[in-house]
Chains A and B, each alone.
Chain A
Amino acid sequence: MSKAKVGIVVFPGSNCDHDAYYVFKDVLGADTKFLWHKEGNIEDRNIVVLPGGFSYGDYLRCGAISRFSGIMQDVVRFANNGGIVIGICNGFQILCESGLLPGALLRNQNLKFLCKTVSLKVENNKSIFTYKYDVKEDIDIPIAHGEGNYFCSEETRSELIGNNQILFTYNENPNGSVNNIAGIQNIHRNVMGMMPHPERASDARVGKTDGLRLLQGIAESVV
């Protein structure tokens, strides 16, 4: 039995929270609960998920308002104490806005909202997130975003490469991201953000299952 205790943070406007909950709770059998941004308590959790959606209507910038919600102060403290945090899509944007991950997500270069399955390459499998994949393995995961164009300074880009922080890249860059980046981890290797949706590719009954090993790996990394 997994020792994972997963908390799915719910902001006003989150809409992939139930998908993430379903995979952790029903597919993987982990102790999982929702954490409403105003009253959620992350104390007894050992994995925190920031799900996809349009928190606070994407006002100002995607993730900019969520960053200052009460629970994010707790999430930042949790992450700084080594807690495992993953941000998917809007969750990735929130992690960048809050400074837990470097860089920012710009409008897609072709200005379109992209909703399709794309091919990713696993760039690094020596992480608590990706160890169930082979390095350079190609996996199919859906994307659904209008602002997924990962951008960072040249200096940050060199650091990401030098420190092996890039976890996933797009085989065909859909949005203009630098270095085809689809997902990264922080330097301490306990915080991960990605634009594609592994929780939407985790049950054969609704399509692909290439995302399951990611979420399963994270759940099983808690011992």
Chain B
Amino acid sequence: MYVAKILITLRKTILDPQGKAVEHSLKSLGYDSIKDTRIGKYVELKIDEKDESVARTIADEACRKLLANSVMEDYSFDVIKSEE
């Protein structure tokens, strides 16, 4: 069993207004050194496979076909072994 921990964010070139709004709030709390805030999604998949590379391929396909929209989003993920 593997767990894929997937992060999906708006592509770097796209303005993230939600991130900007949160950034302004952080600045008003005094965190002047925070220079960029991007908000995204976290998706966790449990994948019942014995081979890590197969689990990776499945996670990647899931991202490409459904979880992320390549027109507007980037994704990255880690796959880690799970005992469950």
Contact = CB atoms under 8 A, between A and B. Distances in A.
A152 B69 contact: no
B21 A151 contact: no
Contact of A60 (B15, B17, B66): B66
Nearest to A151: B72
Contacts of B67: 60
A104 B71 contact: yes
A110 B17 contact: yes
Contacts of A33: none
Given A111-B17, A111-B21, A151-B14, A106 B72 contact: yes
Interface residues of A, number: 19
B18 interface: yes
B50 to A, nearest CB: 28
B17 A104 contact: no
Nearest to A104: B71
A96 B10 CA distance: 17
A189 interface: no
A6 B4 CA distance: 43
Given A60-B67, A109-B15, A151-B72, 16 more contacts: A60-B66, A64-B66, A96-B71, A102-B71, A103-B71, A104-B69, A104-B72, A106-B10, A106-B14, A106-B72, A107-B17, A108-B17, A110-B17, A151-B14, A151-B71, A152-B71
